[in-house]
Structure formats: C-alpha cells, structure tokens
C-alpha cells in the first residue's frame, strides 16, 4: 500500500511517499480502507520532534490520527462492525497513522459514519470534534442557558465547539478575525468578537465556560470573563492554578481521549444536521500534498479543517 511517512524528525520535507505492507490487525481491531484523513497540529508537532519524549516511536512513522473509510477486515473478536461498514475514528497514537491507504483501528474507538455524511467531512471530525466535546461536556458540563466563550471559532476545534455548545442550548460568544466573521456567525454564535478590533475581556463578563485554544495572553485575560465558579478548559497550555484561585474559577488542561461512544454522539448530531465539518482546504495524497497541508496547518490561518482524500 501507499503511505506518506517520516524517517527522521524535522521540517515538512521529511514527509515522503513509500510503498509498504498493509498493516496486520489484532483480534480486537478493524482494518479500515482509508477514504480520507485530515491534518491536525499534533501531526506537525510530532514531525518536528516536539512530542518525542511523550511519543517515542520507532521510524518510519506514518502520521495522521483522523480517519474515515470502509471496513476492509475485522479481527476475530470484533462484534460491532463488519466488512463494508462506513466508519470514522480517531485512532490510538501509534506509528501506524492514517496517511496511508489502510489503517488499523481498535474497535472501541470506531463509530459508524452516517450514510448522509461524505467521507471527507467524516474525516474532519474525530480529533477536533472529540476534543471540543470532551472540553464542553466532560470538563465544562455545559448545559442549556450557560454562557460559553469559544476562542478561535474559525479553527477546527473552535468551529465544532460552537456547534456542540449551541446543540446543548448554550449562549455562545466566539473570537475570530474579521475575515471569518460571516461563516463563524453562520455556525450559530450569539456574539461575535473580532479580536483585531475588540478586546474580548472588556466586552464580556459573567460567563460559565471558556474554551482556550490559544494560550498565552488570551488565556490570562480569559479569567476576567468568567463568573465565580466558572470553568476554563485549555487544549494548548496548562492553566495557572494561582490565577484560577484568584478569580474563584476552575481551570483544566485537556488532552483528548479517543472514544467510539463519544464519537457516536457526534455522528448523531451530524445525522440531525446539528453538526457539520467545515472543510476549508483539500490536498492531494502525495508527499507534495502532505507537505503543503502541513504548511497550511502551521500557518495557524487555515479556515476550518484540512482534508486529504485518499480512496475515492
């Protein structure tokens, strides 16, 4: 099979095409024929070597941890899926990622992809969508009537977080640049903050939950927006516990836990038309395409998700 791999840490030029064997699966795994994958910051952070102490994989490494496709083979004890099923997942972090024509995925991390959802859209959801869902639901306990602030509403996690929060009945404010105002508002935000023109921490107050996707000064200023007893969840930087205590709020750092049941919840929202993936960029499944895709992600200016179609 064809895969795009790295054989050493470094810049995007380390991404190269290779021909290799189709991965073997364990008894509790499914082999997915990959129809599409997508790019996430963890891909290029691992490529650069920033995560090698946490994820010390042997080379070559196939990056990519989003997948949508069709079940090609099932392990001996798999019961929930069969050959031909449309599925999507955020697989475990191993060196056998999804920049490949086939990928092994644990059964408990898979979910059925609704027939109405194209593979490209399905591939855009798992990592970013699960991250948003776990921040809002598991950490923030966001409920009807809550006031929620989402930073970087035009990004992958932010765009899903807006929709999930609205589906739960929350009032949602979101920050983004002015050029993204129209489509971020179309996701359902009640209050749009153009960060180039307005200071969110001066415009907002009394919020129940903040999703920090940026860290630094944005995180520091976010405490001012929260009411006593509110919650901040960050996916980029460990919050300052002293600062949280000063404002009387809870602050947590969130590291995604892949989960097929959580993903099935998102699939249900997708099927109801309450959650859609904004695919802003598509690149070819080649070393050139993947290099360009990584460059787009590293720019921090990509609109929505970056998707790589593989099997048509």
- 224 located within any domain: yes
pTM reported for the whole predicted model: 0.94
Domain range for 180 = 128-253
Indicate whether 143 and 231 sit together in one domain.
Answer: yes
- Same domain as 170, residue 87: no
β-strand pairing of 86-89 with 110-112: antiparallel
Structural domain includes residue 266 = no
Distance of CA 140 to the CA centre of its chain: 17
Using the structure block, give the residue that is written with the tokens 């602030």.
149
CATH at residue 83: 3.90.180.10
Examine the domain organization and report whether 72 and 143 are in the same domain. no
- ∠ CA 264-265-269 to the nearest 5 degrees? 115
In a domain, 74, yes or no: yes
Q: Are residues 74 and 160 in the same domain?
A: no
Specify whether 244 is located in the same domain as 133: yes
Residues 297, 212 share a domain: no
Domain match, 132 and 213 both: yes
> Under 8 Å CB-to-CB from 153, ≥6 apart: which residues?
159, 161, 162, 174, 175, 176, 180, 184, 187, 189, 192
196 and 290 assigned to the same domain: no
Please give the chain's pLDDT, 312 residues, in tens.
999 999 999 999 999 999 999 999 999 999 999 999 999 999 999 999 999 998 999 999 999 999 999 999 999 999 999 999 999 999 999 999 999 999 999 999 999 999 999 999 999 999 999 999 999 999 999 999 999 999 999 989 999 999 999 999 999 999 999 999 999 999 999 999 999 999 999 999 999 999 999 999 999 999 999 999 999 999 999 999 999 999 999 999 999 999 999 999 999 999 999 999 989 899 999 999 999 999 999 987 777 799 999 987
Please choose, from the candidates 100, 109, 87, the residue with its C-alpha nearest in 3D space to the C-alpha of residue 26: 109
Residues 137 and 246 in one domain: yes
Q: Report if residue 258 sits inside a domain.
A: no
Asked if the structure places residue 296 within a domain, the reply is: yes
How many distinct structural domains can be found in the chain?
2
Asked if residue 203 and residue 103 are part of one domain, the reply reads: no
CATH number reported for the structural domain that contains residue 164 in this entry: 3.40.50.720
Q: Examine residue 268 and state whether it is found in any structural domain, yes or no.
A: no
Cα 181 vs. chain centroid, distance in angstroms? Answer: 21
8 A C-beta contact, residue 107 and residue 80:
yes
- 89 shares a domain with 35: yes
79 shares its domain with 23? yes
Asked, for residue 267, whether it belongs to a domain, the answer is no
């Amino acid at each position: 099979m064809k895969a795009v791999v790295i054989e050493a840490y470094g810049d995007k030029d380390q991404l190269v095409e290779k021909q290799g064997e189709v991965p073997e699966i364990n008894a509790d795994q499914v082999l997915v024929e990959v129809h599409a994958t997508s790019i996430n910051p963890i891909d290029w952070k691992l490529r650069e070597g920033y995560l090698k102490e946490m994820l010390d994989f042997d080379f070559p490494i196939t990056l990519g941890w989003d997948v949508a496709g069709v079940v090609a083979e099932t392990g001996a004890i798999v019961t929930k899926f069969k050959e031909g099923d449309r599925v999507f997942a955020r697989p475990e972090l191993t060196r056998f990622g999804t920049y490949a024509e086939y990928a092994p995925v644990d059964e408990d991390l898979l979910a059925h992809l609704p027939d109405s959802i194209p593979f490209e859209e399905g591939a855009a959801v798992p990592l970013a969508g699960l991250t948003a869902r776990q921040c809002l639901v598991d950490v923030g306990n966001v409920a009807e009537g809550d006031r929620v602030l989402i930073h970087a509403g035009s990004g992958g996690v932010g765009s899903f977080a807006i929709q999930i929060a609205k589906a739960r009945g929350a009032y949602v404010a979101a920050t983004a640049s002015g050029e993204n105002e129209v489509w971020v508002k179309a996701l359902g935000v009640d209050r749009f903050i153009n960060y180039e023109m307005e200071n969110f921490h001066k415009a907002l107050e009394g919020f129940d939950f903040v999703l920090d996707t940026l860290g630094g000064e944005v995180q520091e200023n976010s405490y001012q927006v929260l009411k006593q007893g509110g919650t901040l969840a960050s996916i980029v930087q460990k919050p300052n516990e002293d600062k949280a205590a000063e404002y009387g709020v809870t602050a947590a750092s969130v590291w995604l836990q892949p989960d097929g049941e959580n993903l099935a919840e998102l699939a249900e929202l997708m099927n109801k038309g309450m959650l859609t993936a904004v695919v802003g960029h598509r690149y070819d499944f080649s070393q050139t395409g993947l290099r360009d895709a990584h460059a787009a992600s590293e720019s921090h200016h990509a609109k929505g998700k970056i998707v790589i179609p593989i099997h048509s």
